[in-house]
Copies of this chain bind each other. A is one copy, B any other.
Amino acid sequence: MTRRKIIGIIGAGSCDENIWSIAEEMGRRVAESGAALVCGGLGGVMEAASKGAKESGGLTIGILPGSNKDDANPYIDIPILTGLSHARNVLVVRSSDVVIAISGGYGTLSEIALSLKMGKSVIGIGTWEGIDGIIRVKSPEEAMKKIKEFA
């Protein structure tokens, strides 16, 4: 059997319009590639990416910090309720074959660091500077090209 690839998109729970549109395009491209989307299930970059994926017919998994599925953004097909608070960050990146970081704050930084610790490929769009190991790209289109190259 071959399972579909799982791509994680990480980023902050609130974001400006520019980041939103990048995340939405990224989600759309993930879905069009046939991969499932995993994210943290909440708002901001997570919601934009889920919207892009869902509206392109993709499957969206949200790994939530809390225990209430109403916390999930409306574009999440499958809310995984962890009740683990920030420890759910580990699960988001562990469940992803490759991780795409879009902008982001401290939570995203923790996920980038955990991904690199686990040896996972991290593609970054406008995210944290000064961290060796992130594959930096300028656009969702370029991100998908990188993924096809190595993953």
Contact = CB atoms under 8 A, between A and B. Distances in A.
Contact of A94 (B82, B105, B113): B82
A61 B106 CA distance: 26
A117 B105 contact: yes
A56 interface: no
A138 interface: no
Identical subunits present: 4
B94 A67 contact: yes
A44 to B, nearest CB: 14
A127 to B, nearest CB: 12
Contacts of A74: 1
Interface string A130-145: 1101000000000000
B95 A106 contact: no
A94 B94 CA distance: 19
Interface of A: 1, 3-4, 6, 36, 59, 61, 63, 67, 69, 74, 76-87, 89-91, 94-95, 105-107, 109-110, 113-114, 116-118, 128-131, 133
28 contacts: A3-B69, A3-B76, A3-B78, A6-B78, A6-B79, A36-B78, A61-B80, A63-B80, A67-B85, A67-B118, A79-B95, A80-B91, A81-B95, A82-B90, A82-B91, A83-B84, A83-B86, A83-B87, A83-B90, A84-B85, A86-B90, A87-B90, A105-B117, A106-B113, A106-B116, A113-B113, A128-B130, A130-B131
